[in-house]
Amino acid sequence: MRVNFNIFKDNISWNALIHQLNGDVLLRHVLVKGNVVDRNIDFIYCDETCQGKIINGDNQLIGNFSTSY
């Protein structure tokens, strides 16, 4: 599965191949490539649209992601 990440701060985008879609895998990618300081990050994902939101510890939208196969 390919995941396309977008972090709004500094307009950072990248994609990654992953084998399992879960919060730990997403968090690792965001912390390594996203230039994010806050480690308290949550992910919301919709199976219907294959789109997700990246939320920081203050419940603010800081980015999004989408999946494709």
Full DSSP string of 41-62 = -EEEEETTTTEEEEE-TTS-EE
Domains held by the chain: number:
1
Domain of residue 56, residue span:
2-68
41 CA to centre of own chain: 9
Q: Do the Cβ atoms of 46 and 7 come closer than 8 Å?
A: no
Q: Do the Cβ atoms of 35 and 10 come closer than 8 Å?
A: yes
Q: Distance (Å, rounded) from C-alpha 66 to C-alpha 13?
A: 11
User: pLDDT tens-digit profile of 17-65?
Assistant: 999 999 999 999 999 999 998 899 999 999 999 999 999 999 999 999 9
Q: Distance (Å, rounded) from C-alpha 67 to C-alpha 39?
A: 22
| pLDDT for residue 66 is more than 90 | yes
